[in-house]
Structure 1
Amino acid sequence: MLEQLLIFTRGGLILWTCKELGNALKGSPIDTLIRSCLLEERSGAASFNYDAPGASYTLKWTFHNELSLVFVAVYQKILHLLYVEDLLAMVKREFSQVYDPTRTAYDGFDETFRQLKMEALARAEDLKKSNPVVGNVKKQGGQGNKNGFEGGNKKKSDGSVKNDGGADGENGKGRKLENGHSNGNFVASKDTNMNSVNVNGRENTSSDDVGAFDVNKLQKLRSKGGKKTDTVAKASKAEPNKKVTKKNRVWNDAAVPEKKLDFTDHSGEDGDRNIDFVAPIQGESMMDKEEIVSSESEDEDEEDEDAGKNSKPGTKSKGWFSSMFQSIAGKANLEKSDLEPALKALKDRLMTKNVAEEIAEKLCESVAASLEGKKLASFTRISSTVQAAMEDALVRILTPRRSIDILRDVHAAREQRKPYVVVFVGVNGVGKSTNLAKVAYWLLQHNVSVMMAACDTFRSGAVEQLRTHARRLQIPIFEKGYEKDPAIVAKEAIQEASRNGSDVVLVDTAGRMQDNEPLMRALSKLIYLNNPDLVLFVGEALVGNDAVDQLSKFNQKLADLATSPNPRLIDGILLTKFDTIDDKVGAALSMVYISGAPVMFVGCGQSYTDLKKLNVKSIVKTLLK
């Protein structure tokens, strides 16, 4: 049963709701749809599921871009209503004929909607009557998929390994392991027969491959008794007898043999005093410096050229006169076929900038949904219209939805006489400890007292690493050694900070893969027990598709393993190694899109000053360049 159908403008003015339905929606599914989907450039999705205590809805929508109208249907999630999309299309068509921008009430549309609903229900009934035939077709198709795309490597009767394709696409492209990481390594069969080897998921049984040794050729040479075989045999016998002696390496012209390398620890001597004062003289943190971005626009001729190159083969390119006439007179309504070449070019461009393919696809679908049916203005080309729409979409995604002024929040916590707690989480080897020290250095420059908490009790050397940063920055550190419960260590560190009057506690945690459930459970316990003010996910700017897997599974695990009904998820992102990627800045977009959390810090070097804010305009310009 349909719960509600609404028509409202993009400005938020509700024009009509179905009085016949009159069902009061539990929670706020419409507001959540607008905040989480329509404003976040996810409008290209087919539907949106709203889950709240006592409420579970599915929402579907469509746009009338020329009139700036939104049509939304709401129904129970457990129901599968086949007529909703058809009903929305008919309501859109009929309402657009009676719409008047000066009117705010459409009471006479109730009877029209009643007739449209009866027509949509009748079509759904006809579809149900033909359901057995459709079910048989689906069943047969499902069996075919099972036989053709069951996945995995099947063993032949001769012991070799056969790759039946799996669900990895053509020729095994895009194969992924169970933990979500792409498998680009050399995979060999464990069977005794090594003639069949899988390389990147492909079956390789050919004897003419590069680097493979052909045994048949050797047998032919032996049968002929040629000199080549004797030569090879003599060479193979002579080689083991040869002993290669390695000469001593001379490092400098002036040989000083009596001087040896000193590996002793001098940390307790006077030389360590120089290390303590390295950090304070490094200068101002780059967080407080404004980055200037040039406002040079992209050359539109190159955009059209790229759109033409990426257009589908077989589509006829428009002539010069027709395109010029269209740009002058304007196009009546943009159709999806008109947008496809430009969107294809934009998608390829985003993917070359390290944006995950899934995210690039969804962005293009959202832009297409926002432009389809819209009238093209005079003297405007489709490529420039699509480019502008994509630019607006990227700015909306990367712009934080809420305030992320950490210094203001620190001062607010100081007035309440409690420390501001930040927990750094992430996968292994992304640089959590190093960038935690950069954040500490930036806070020290703003006269904020900082204390570190060494809660990485899992990795060997983690406490010593954080202790070195604390000594160089001359700030206190709370540590309990290894093999301790990190949640208890963090709790005691916060209590110690309250006694000592520290303003901020920076909690360092162990790196963990998103599929490691014991460590993820420990992290969920740490966050639940200490209720930090900020949970920062530290991720690399080098990752592409893996960023989507990392963030989505981190959030999912924190939600699933939490013991409270309102679990704490990731609040912000710290992007490391940003200076190593050149213009491949797509990981920032992928992470923000998949989590909804803003990029609050960007690590761009190896010194304490190398910490920046994310410049949204610069990122958008680089992505579309």
Structure 2
Amino acid sequence: MLEQLLIFTRGGLVLWSSCRAIGNALKGSPIDALIRSCLLEERSADSSFSHESYTLKWAFHNELGLVFVAVYQRILHLLYVDDLLSSVRREFSAVYDPKRTVYNDFDETFRQLQMEAEARVEEMKKLKQSGRAPPVQSKKGGAGQRALTGSQGNGTKKGSGGGSTKDDSDGDTGNGRLVSNGVENGAKGSNKSRVPSKGKENGAPDTGAFDVNKLMMRSKTGKKSDDDKKAGPTKGQPKKAVKKKRVWDDAPKEEPKLDFTDEKGDEGMEREVAVIRGESMMDKEEVISSESEGEEEDEDEVEGAKPGAKKKGWFASMFKSIAGNNSLEKADLQPALRALKDRLMTKNVAEEIAEKLCESVANSLEGKKLGSFTRISSTVQTAMEEALLRILTPRRSIDILRDVHAAKEQGRPYVVVFVGVNGVGKSTNLAKVAYWLLQHDVSVTLAACDTFRSGAVEQLRTHARRLQIPIFEKGYEKDPAIVAKEAIQDAARNKSDVVLVDTAGRMQDNEPLMRALSKLINLNNPDLVLFVGEALVGNDAVDQLSKFNQKLADLSTVANARLIDGILLTKFDTIDDKVGAALSMVYISGAPVMFVGCGQSYTDLKKLNVKSIVKTLLK
């Protein structure tokens, strides 16, 4: 049974509801959760949204700025919802008046549309049980075709337009999808524009992540030929370092020691701490210069450029313009979206995320009318830029310094737990965060809860000595949850403001270690759970974050499981313009990037500049 069907504007004005008598009586306000977690964060490419015991599906009317949302119990698998949304969208758009706010006369129309949608599903069930194929020509004339295909932008992949989902679709909706594809093929000749493909076959530019020509050019410029090797080093080029010969005498010459820890002592440590004193990059505002962008645009506008000149921008000379008062269709958007998807993937955005983003942009543009001679490419790029800004901008503010002072007033320390996979730099970046907090006159205690990896306690102890801050440790092979609890109690006794908890690196599929991490978080209830991830990862970012959150939820012993609250992105200085990991992580988790590690010293920690990331992704 359908719980609710709601029609509202993008500005939030509710125009009509199928259950006005009970208002917002649905448990947990699922529509509010949909708006916060999906629509505002540009996740409309998803086919459905689940909240508590409800499943929600939606459709847009971009030209009128309307949103249609259907809510039903998750266990029910209502097959007629997509068909009903399409029909309601069509009928309500015909009677919509921007000056009206009440549509009580739409009740009877909705009841009739719901009965027709249920009847169509029942008929398809009977046809399937009898072994006959559903009639292609029945009930699909004009608006009926749109009702069967459900092509109103509710986020189904590969251009089918919205009917089926992975969790809610049975054989009936699958047949509906086949019918819709057949109709479109008959109307438009082919469905090539709906099938995303790579390469130059469909007119898309060759902007793949792997380019053989570039590889050949690098091999020519980066390696010497045999003649060059024979000729020896060129003038001005430094000679290759030669390995020193081993000395076999009885009294070999002493080589300088590599470990200076014991020789420095306390005085040496004080001198070292004085050297590393400097302003953290977290407190510096990054200024984005637009000079380079202007130069690129000027070069792109030059006509008749020589073969050696800079290549034109990837959107500079692509795709047609549309005359005024013409509505955009998905077929018009596909070439630009394919090129945009390839561009995002070359920037290290996960393929799944790039595909969902492009589908979401297509849903937001379908049906809109463009101005006279407006380029589709520029329209798509503008829509994508707005979508990326919405995704990367935090939906909730996390001010650590403010929260630290609030916890101090309550007489307790502020607890931050650092989690992540092996080798991403948790301990090093934990020390950077500690150094930043010290600059703001916040007392810090380190908790060595990595009792699994050899040398982890010694590594954290070295950071504590260099920063001259206390560390709580219990050695190895101890329960990290108990160690963290005792560290928090010790910090409370010593009036420490912040406790930074270092945990062992673990892969997302390692259930014993994930269970131990879940126990640590549930037992100590930290104020902030930071996921430390590498900026080098691509598709693996989606797997890491989604499985970390899933494991923390599944293995939690409390009702409201604690998930990842924020992201610390490491090794950001090694990726050049391949900044897509930040987008992938934020999109899949909904958590903001709070810190960015960009070097090897304690000062190399900064904030994520959202505008700079968006500019880099789209240039």
Amino acid at match of 2:129: P
Establish whether residue 398 from structure 1 lines up as the match of residue 399 from structure 2.
no
* Counterparts of residues 222-241 of structure 1 (less than 5 Å): none
Per-residue deviation at 1:279? 3.5
Equivalent-residue separation in structure 2 for 1:398 and 1:134 (angstroms): 50
Per-residue deviation at 1:133? 5.4
Establish whether residue 615 from structure 1 lines up as the match of residue 609 from structure 2.
yes
The alpha-carbon distance between structure 1 residues 367 and 435, as it changes in their structure 2 partners (threshold 3 A), is: same
* Counterparts of residues 225-374 of structure 1 (less than 5 Å): 250=244, 258-261=252-255, 267-270=261-264, 273-282=267-276, 283-295=278-290, 296=293, 299=297, 306=314, 323=321, 326=322, 329-374=323-368
Residue in 1 aligned with 2:600?
606
Residue in 1 aligned with 2:51?
50
Equivalent-residue separation in structure 1 for 2:418 and 2:131 (angstroms): 52
Amino acid at match of 1:125: E
Residue in 2 aligned with 1:498?
492
Amino acid at match of 2:286: E
Residue in 2 aligned with 1:227?
none
Residue in 1 aligned with 2:11?
11
Establish whether residue 29 from structure 1 lines up as the match of residue 24 from structure 2.
no
Per-residue deviation at 1:403? 1.2
Per-residue deviation at 1:479? 0.7
The alpha-carbon distance between structure 1 residues 249 and 330, as it changes in their structure 2 partners (threshold 3 A), is: closer
Specify the SS of the correspondent of 2:532. strand
Residues 528-565 of structure 1, C-alpha deviation per residue, up to 9 Å, x if partnerless? 11111110000000000001101011111111111000
Contact 1:304/1:383, CA 8 A, preserved across alignment: no
Amino acid at match of 1:517: E
Contact 2:127/2:133, CA 8 A, preserved across alignment: no
Residue in 1 aligned with 2:83?
86
Equivalent-residue separation in structure 2 for 1:113 and 1:265 (angstroms): 78
Specify the SS of the correspondent of 1:573. strand
* Counterparts of residues 33-182 of structure 1 (less than 5 Å): 33-51=34-52, 56-132=53-129
The alpha-carbon distance between structure 1 residues 357 and 615, as it changes in their structure 2 partners (threshold 3 A), is: same
Amino acid at match of 1:541: A
Per-residue deviation at 1:489? 0.7
Residue in 2 aligned with 1:558?
552
Equivalent-residue separation in structure 1 for 2:252 and 2:26 (angstroms): 85
Contact 2:448/2:503, CA 8 A, preserved across alignment: yes
Equivalent-residue separation in structure 2 for 1:532 and 1:508 (angstroms): 12
Specify the SS of the correspondent of 2:442. coil
Specify the SS of the correspondent of 1:394. helix
Per-residue deviation at 1:118? 2.1
Equivalent-residue separation in structure 1 for 2:355 and 2:26 (angstroms): 32
Equivalent-residue separation in structure 2 for 1:7 and 1:353 (angstroms): 38
Q: Which residue of 378, 382, 397 corresponds with 1:384?
A: 378
Per-residue deviation at 1:266? 5.6
Equivalent-residue separation in structure 2 for 1:135 and 1:437 (angstroms): 68
Contact 1:455/1:507, CA 8 A, preserved across alignment: yes
Residues 414-434 of structure 1, C-alpha deviation per residue, up to 9 Å, x if partnerless? 111211111100000000000
Equivalent-residue separation in structure 2 for 1:570 and 1:44 (angstroms): 23
Equivalent-residue separation in structure 1 for 2:328 and 2:312 (angstroms): 17
Contact 2:55/2:72, CA 8 A, preserved across alignment: yes
Equivalent-residue separation in structure 2 for 1:22 and 1:275 (angstroms): 68
* Counterparts of residues 527-542 of structure 1 (less than 5 Å): 527-542=521-536
Residue in 2 aligned with 1:543?
537
Residue in 1 aligned with 2:577?
583
Which TM-score applies when normalising by structure 2?
0.76
Contact 1:441/1:473, CA 8 A, preserved across alignment: yes
The alpha-carbon distance between structure 1 residues 71 and 252, as it changes in their structure 2 partners (threshold 3 A), is: same
Residue in 2 aligned with 1:173?
none
Residues 497-518 of structure 1, C-alpha deviation per residue, up to 9 Å, x if partnerless? 1111111111101111111111
Flag structure 2 segments of 5+ consecutive residues without an equivalent.
Answer: 135-169, 175-196, 198-241, 302-310
Amino acid at match of 1:513: M
Per-residue deviation at 1:84? 1.3
Amino acid at match of 1:77: R
- Range with bigger deviation, 602-611 or 264-273: 264-273
Per-residue deviation at 1:124? 1.4
Amino acid at match of 1:13: L
Residues 177-233 of structure 1, C-alpha deviation per residue, up to 9 Å, x if partnerless? xxxxxxxxxxxxxxxxxxxxxxxxxxxxxxxxxxxxxxxxxxxxxxxxxxxxxxxxx
Per-residue deviation at 1:277? 3.2
Per-residue deviation at 1:265? 6.2
Equivalent-residue separation in structure 2 for 1:534 and 1:135 (angstroms): 58
Per-residue deviation at 1:132? 2.1
Specify the SS of the correspondent of 1:78. helix
Per-residue deviation at 1:284? 0.6
Amino acid at match of 1:71: F
Q: Aligned-residue CA RMSD in angstroms?
A: 2.8
Specify the SS of the correspondent of 2:76. coil
Residues 22-69 of structure 1, C-alpha deviation per residue, up to 9 Å, x if partnerless? 684222110011111111111111111222xxxx11111100001100
The alpha-carbon distance between structure 1 residues 270 and 87, as it changes in their structure 2 partners (threshold 3 A), is: closer
Equivalent-residue separation in structure 2 for 1:270 and 1:263 (angstroms): 13
Equivalent-residue separation in structure 2 for 1:447 and 1:515 (angstroms): 39
- Range with bigger deviation, 289-298 or 392-401: 289-298
Number of residue pairs matched?
500
Per-residue deviation at 1:470? 0.5
Equivalent-residue separation in structure 2 for 1:250 and 1:477 (angstroms): 42
Residue in 1 aligned with 2:152?
none
The alpha-carbon distance between structure 1 residues 265 and 128, as it changes in their structure 2 partners (threshold 3 A), is: closer
Flag structure 1 segments of 5+ consecutive residues without an equivalent.
Answer: 143-169, 171-247, 312-316
Percent of residue pairs identical:
78
The alpha-carbon distance between structure 1 residues 19 and 417, as it changes in their structure 2 partners (threshold 3 A), is: closer
- Range with bigger deviation, 398-407 or 270-279: 270-279
Establish whether residue 595 from structure 1 lines up as the match of residue 606 from structure 2.
no
The alpha-carbon distance between structure 1 residues 466 and 108, as it changes in their structure 2 partners (threshold 3 A), is: same
Per-residue deviation at 1:435? 0.4
Equivalent-residue separation in structure 1 for 2:69 and 2:592 (angstroms): 28
Specify the SS of the correspondent of 1:5. strand
Contact 1:601/1:614, CA 8 A, preserved across alignment: yes
Contact 1:279/1:608, CA 8 A, preserved across alignment: no
Specify the SS of the correspondent of 1:277. helix
* Counterparts of residues 436-475 of structure 1 (less than 5 Å): 436-475=430-469
Equivalent-residue separation in structure 2 for 1:597 and 1:258 (angstroms): 57
- Range with bigger deviation, 121-130 or 475-484: 121-130
Specify the SS of the correspondent of 1:46. coil
Contact 1:276/1:473, CA 8 A, preserved across alignment: no
Per-residue deviation at 1:86? 1.2
Residues 353-392 of structure 1, C-alpha deviation per residue, up to 9 Å, x if partnerless? 0000000000011111111001112342111111011001
Residue in 1 aligned with 2:209?
none
Residues 117-144 of structure 1, C-alpha deviation per residue, up to 9 Å, x if partnerless? 22212211211111225699999xx9xx
Equivalent-residue separation in structure 2 for 1:526 and 1:135 (angstroms): 57
Contact 1:277/1:472, CA 8 A, preserved across alignment: no
